[in-house]
Amino acid sequence: MGIYKVRVATGNFLLAGTFSSISITLVGTHEESDKKHLDNCGKDFHPRAVSTSRTGRRWLGDIVLVRLHKEPYSFYPTDNWYCSFVEVVSPHGQCYRFPCYQWIEGYRTLELREGKGRGLRAGRRHMGDDLVSLGVIDSYPRQWQARANIPPGLSLPRWKEYAAGLPRCLAVENVIELDCNTMYSFTKSTNFLLRGGNYVLAHWREDTFFGYQFLNGVHPMVIRRCTELPCNFPVTPAMVASSLGESTSLQDELEVSGVPGTPLGGLRHQYIAAPLCLLHLQPSGELIPVAIQLSQCPSPDSPIFLPSDSEWDWILAKTWVRYAEFLVHEAVSHLLLTHLIDEAFALATLHQLPMCHPLFKLLLPHTHCTLHINVMARTLLLRRGGIIERAMGSGLEGTKVLMAKGMSCLTYTSLCFPDDIQERGVDCIPNYYYRDDGLKIWSAIESFVSGIVRHHYHSDAHVLADCELQAWADEIFREGFLGNEASGFPSSLQNIPELIKYLTMWIYCYSARHATLNNGQVGRGQPGRSGPHSQPPKGPGVQPPTPPPSKKLFVHRFQSQLGHFAQICPKSSLKTKKHTQS
């Protein structure tokens, strides 16, 4: 016999409270309590409020689960309530805490497990077989609760195939179908209304700036050391002698092929180049381009462009490289390898990890808004007539093909930052600030993750025995990486070091790596600044119908090559000085 004290906390921000009727049921290892209405004098569940009540007249055993019931009250309309946590104190003074930290929409019942960070198998041993007999084990994971008008069988987020060869995604067509826990906040939504001014691109023609962008621009993870020239890139020593000087260290970058083009704005069909660009590390530490070929097949119609060519021949060749690099950056590195892969992790987390699982707590902040931004991207960008089809040379279908190619050659090594640096052979190149800063960030994340993991998993056997964790890893492998064993991504996690590395990879990719690829594109909210893709010559999304078959290009022809860009993006401009023919 005894009384249980119950405390229920409401979130501390605007509109977190509710006028609904809130009740609670306590589930113990012996039995469960009657449903208790939580009601005191005045409004109980307003922002920052902690409502205190008493319930129970009999001993329930250890409290393993609470059920919150949100029901209509009087004439008040339906609203949403943000519950932070529930705390229960037993008659013997033992405190049980049940984290919630989520919106409860409409009228429904939400079940919460105690937040001690136990995996399912460890929880069974601790709580006893009575938990199974009460049906508690079979009720989880249940983070994504059904709305009042959705059948229980559809309560979990569902997978769908967006395009062949790509990670599967959330089966939602519009952001209004998302619940409050995955939707942008009002403050976050208003950020998209802020835009910065134009920046005068004073250095876009310079070779040193061109090379610098591959090291520390918005796409610094594709450059790799070249120990021998590709057989389809017949650069001779005489061609680059004036650029190389005495140094012989070479860099090879960027290769795209087999991507269909698309007509843009009623213009001619777009051509997607597959350029080869050779860069040279000078004794000064600067990286400069020394040879560019705009196709994979050398021929008289595909000359090798050199710094010694006319100024506008060389500028156009670099612009074509930037064009191809732009497509790979946006379609593969940014959209596929951060957004779409992150969505697979987020959905698997919601499917397989209960809220009280230690990894759910660790990973939840890194899934915040993932579903909202990706659904919005498929609604605005990746659809017929969307922005990608209208403003990118690859178009919608070409972008899908490009992403599928990127997916087919994706490896676990390429997403593990220290391994990727070693594999690309850029561990010693100077002035590579992306590498230097990235290794420090990776190390900091790894240290934090290691502390969390080793606190909850005391041996490799504990990792193997956590069936929720193993189901999570398996679902990511099947739905996110399409079961591709050649990729090297694990379908199960065998020990503590593997788990630490896997978690560090995810957190790094969708924080530091995404920030690198995304935040520098356009200087949003920074007056007087703009990013590398905001001006056509520096980062063009479209190009002329075909690459130039010969040299001897002058400034007026260069402008005409890019002139049709204004028909699609009329606010873009090309600022040049007056040049004479040479």
Tell me: the pLDDT tens digits for 556-577? Answer: 555 665 554 444 444 433 333 3
Is the per-residue pLDDT at 551 higher than 60? yes
Question: What number of H helices and E strands is found in the chain?
Answer: 20, 15
The reply to whether 258 sits in an annotated binding site is no
Kindly report the number of other CB atoms within 10 A of residue 93's CB atom. Answer: 7
Q: Is the whole-model pTM more than 0.85?
A: no
Distance (Å, whole) CA 493 – CA 412: 14
Ranges 109-118, 380-389, 479-488, 546-555: which has the least confidence:
546-555
On the 0-12 / 13-18 / 19+ scale of CB atoms within 10 A, 551 is middle
534-546 mean pLDDT? 52
3-state secondary structure 519-544: CCCCCCCCCCCCCCCCCCCCCCCCCC
Which range of 27-36, 118-127, 177-186 scores highest in mean pLDDT? It is 27-36
Instruction: Write down the H helix ranges in 353-484.
Output: 358-363, 370-380, 387-391, 395-408, 412-415, 417-424, 433-456, 460-465, 467-475
Task: Report whether pLDDT(142) > 70.
Answer: no
For residues 77 and 488, which has the higher predicted lDDT (pLDDT)?
488
pLDDT value, residue 493: 97
Give percent of the chain with pLDDT exceeding 70: 71
Q: Which amino acid is at 533?
A: H
- Checking if the pLDDT of 384 tops 60, the result is yes
In the predicted structure, residue 249 carries a pLDDT above the cut 60:
no
> 388: pLDDT confidence band, cut at 50, 70 and 90?
confident
334 is in an annotated binding site: yes
Q: Is 571 helix (H, G, I), strand (E, B) or coil?
A: coil
Residue 489 has pLDDT above 50, yes or no: yes
For 279-341, give the DSSP string.
EEE-TTS-EEEEEEESSSS-BTTBPEE-TTS-HHHHHHHHHHHHHHHHHHIIIIIIIIIIIIH
Cα–Cα distance measured from residue 457 to residue 466, given in angstroms and rounded to the nearest whole number? 9
C-alpha distance from residue 566 to each of 167, 254, 470, 569 (Å): 34, 26, 52, 5
Are 110 and 35 within 8 A, CB to CB? no
pLDDT of residue 559: 60
Residue with tokens 């409290």: 63
| 69 annotated to bind ligand | no
pLDDT given at position 576 = 37
**Residue 301 labeled ligand binder:** no
The band of 553, judged by pLDDT with boundaries at 50, 70 and 90, is: low
Q: Of 215, 230, 222, nearest to 281 (Cα)?
A: 215
pLDDT of 580: 35
The region of weakest confidence among 179-183, 250-254, 422-426, 498-502 is: 250-254
pLDDT higher at 196 or 369: 369
Q: What is the mean pLDDT of residues 267-275?
A: 58
Q: Select the highest-mean-pLDDT range: 43-47, 182-186, 379-383, 503-507.
A: 503-507
* 37 annotated as ligand-binding: no
pLDDT given for residue 541 in this prediction: 54
Cβ-count burial of 126 within 10 angstroms (0-12 exposed, 13-18 middle, 19+ buried)?
middle
What domains, with CATH codes, occur in the chain? 4-140 (2.60.60.20)
Q: Which residue has the tokens 């946590």?
A: 85
pLDDT at site 467: 93
Q: Is the pLDDT of residue 524 over 50?
A: no
Structural tokens at position 64: 């393993």
**207 or 338, higher pLDDT:** 338
**Alpha carbons 143 and 122: distance in angstroms, whole number:** 20
Residue 254 clears pLDDT 70, i.e. is over it: no
104-108, 117-121, 348-352, 497-501, range with the lowest pLDDT: 117-121
Q: What's the confidence (pLDDT) of residue 344? A: 92
Mean pLDDT of 30-41: 81
Is residue 210 a contact partner of residue 254, using CB atoms and an 8 Å limit? Answer: no
* DSSP-H helix ranges across 21-113: none
462 annotated among ligand-binding-site residues: no
pLDDT digits (tens, 9 = 90+) for 67-106: 999 998 888 888 888 899 999 999 889 999 998 888 888 8
Respond yes or no on whether the N-terminal peptide bond of residue 47 is cis (omega within 30° of 0).
no
Minimal CA–CA distance to 401: which of 328, 305, 293? 328
The least confident of 39-48, 146-155, 164-173, 392-401 is 146-155
**pLDDT beyond 50 at 222:** yes
Contact between residue 27 and residue 9 where contact means Cβ atoms under 8 Å apart: no
**Residue 158 clears pLDDT 90, i.e. is over it:** no
Q: Check residue 497 and give its pLDDT.
A: 97
Q: How many CB atoms lie within 10 A of CB 42?
A: 7
Confidence band (pLDDT; 50, 70, 90) for 153? very low
The whole-number pLDDT of residue 464 equals: 95
Half-sphere exposure of 508 (CA within 13 A, CB side): 25
Identify the top-confidence range among 149-163, 225-239, 322-336: 322-336
d(CA 344, CA 350): 10
Q: What is the pLDDT of residue 548?
A: 67
Q: Please say if the pLDDT value at position 450 is more than 80.
A: yes
Show the tokens assigned to 503: 């978690």
Q: How many Å separate Cα 243 from the centre of its chain? A: 39
For residue range 160-211, list pLDDT tens digits in order: 777 787 787 777 777 766 767 666 665 555 555 544 334 335 677 788 888 8
| Structural contact between residues 350 and 157, judged by C-beta atoms closer than 8 angstroms | yes
Instruction: Determine whether the annotation assigns residue 342 to a binding site.
Output: no
What distance separates the 2 farthest-apart alpha carbons in the chain? 99
So what's the pLDDT on residue 522?
60
On average, the pLDDT of the chain sits at 76
Structure tokens at 241: 């002698």
Of 134-138, 560-564, 578-582, the one with minimum mean pLDDT is: 578-582
Please determine, for residue 267, whether its predicted confidence score (pLDDT) is greater than 70: no
Q: Given this model, what pLDDT does residue 196 score?
A: 38
In 72-139, the DSSP E strands lie at 81-89, 95-104, 108-113
Q: Which long-range contacts (CB under 8 A, 24 or more apart) does 223-231 make?
A: 223/251, 223/253, 223/279, 223/424, 223/426, 224/251, 224/252, 224/253, 224/424, 224/425, 224/426, 225/251, 225/252, 225/424, 225/425, 225/426, 225/429, 226/250, 226/251, 226/252, 226/278, 227/425, 229/278, 230/276
pLDDT, residue 433, reads 93
Percent of the chain past pLDDT 90, that is, above it, reads 27
Type of residue at 166: L
How far CA 413 is from CA of 275, 416, 501, in Å, comes to 25, 5, 11
Is 387 or 475 the better-scoring residue by pLDDT? 475
